[in-house]
Amino acid sequence: MSTAVAKEITLTELFTWTKRLGKHLLSKWWLIALVAIIMGILGVLYAWSTKPVYVAEITFATENNNSSQLGMYAGIASQFGLDLGGGGTSGVFEGESLMELLKSRTMVEKTLLSPFNKTSQELMVEVFLESNSRKWRDKPSTKNMKFETYPQKADRNRDSIMKNVFDRITKKNLQIERRDKKTNFITIQMKDVNELFAKRFVEILVENALQFYSDYKSKKARQNLRIIETQTDSVRRLLFGNISEVNTINDLNVNPLRQVARTGAQRKQIDVQVNATLYGELLKNLELSRLALRKETPLIQIIDAPILPLEKIKPGRLLTGLVFSFIGIFIISVILILRFIVREPVGKQPIQVQV
């Protein structure tokens, strides 16, 4: 019985304390309103002073010839003793691997070290630093810094800056995704306060990465083509040389009754026939190698390219002011509640328990 009465009194005290807390907060309405107004003004000023962020987006598609398509040509080529590779590099830079290539250090740094435009000597990395850190040249260690020699010549400060720029871009600014897993469409987004830099970055990055990708995919076919071209040129020179020698020997043989004199010409004629046959086979192989190179070279198509003006992201003044106001109301309310709890904790007055 006594336990039940004690609980009832505790709940009553809690209810009474809550009412006192509510009255205390209402009595401080002017302070809460003042904080809300000040925070709202700060929010508006923050939104007004914040630089807009521009979003450059580019979408491209890649199409690779599968092994079944190339197998037909490889079968024909095998009759002539030519290995077309059979698509041995397929799958290496496709899907997720191609996306990782786009944000790799090699591709990003190559893009940063590219000229900003054709008429300027300024590099992309210098434009990025000037847009995001205007005073970076004011430091003695960076005043005369040259990025043209990176990474051939070691420079600790410059290498550190390049690493920081790479980390910031890949973690905050650059986003690469394949929105539909069923397609080969890859979308790249670059966010930056410099509109032209964002646009140029995605364009150069895609150009560098796709060139690397195309060269890698067709590397074996290009090697085969160069070998066949070299062999064909060599055999053609031998063939033409043998023909000239045959004609020279025939011209020197002024007595047609002496058959011994024709021996050298007949030997050279055999060389001409052998080299002519070999030359014909090499020409077939050469055409097949060119066909293999065309089949191995991936088809890359830009679907959507960034167009000025770019999409602009900037916090709205009204919305930011309201958010800051609510944050101010929450903070001042928590402070007032904590102060009230310290001064007037629950159950401060003695509780009369009935037995």
Q: Quick one: which of 106, 312, 322 has its CA closest to 211?
A: 106
- The encoded tokens of residue 175 equal 């986003």
Amino acid sitting at position 78: S
- Identify the sign of the CA torsion 169, 170, 176, 177: negative
The predicted structure's pLDDT at residue 84: 52
What span, in angstroms and rounded, lies between the C-alpha atoms of 349 and 343? 12
55 in helix, strand or coil? strand
pTM as predicted: 0.65
- Averaged over 254-281, what is the pLDDT? 62
What span, in angstroms and rounded, lies between the C-alpha atoms of 208 and 105? 12
pLDDT digits (tens, 9 = 90+) for 117-154: 877 778 888 888 888 776 666 666 666 677 776 666 76
Query: Is residue 335 scored above 80 in pLDDT?
Result: yes
Q: Quick one: which of 147, 120, 302, 123 has its CA closest to 209?
A: 302
Q: Quick one: which of 89, 303, 104, 103 has its CA closest to 184?
A: 303
Query: Is residue 78 scored above 70 in pLDDT?
Result: no
- Window from 25-34, 44-53, 236-245 with minimum mean pLDDT: 236-245
Q: Could you state, in order of their start, the residue ranges of all structural domains in the chain?
A: 2-50+317-343, 53-218+298-313, 221-296
Query: Is residue 60 scored above 70 in pLDDT?
Result: yes
pLDDT digits (tens, 9 = 90+) for 188-247: 999 999 899 999 999 999 988 888 887 777 777 777 777 777 777 777 777 666 666 666
Residue 216's alpha-carbon distances to 98, 194, 213, in angstroms, are 12, 33, 5
- The encoded tokens of residue 241 equal 């040389």
Query: Is residue 324 scored above 80 in pLDDT?
Result: yes
Q: DSSP character for 261?
A: G
Q: Cβ contacts of residue 316 below 8 Å, gap of 6+?
A: 47
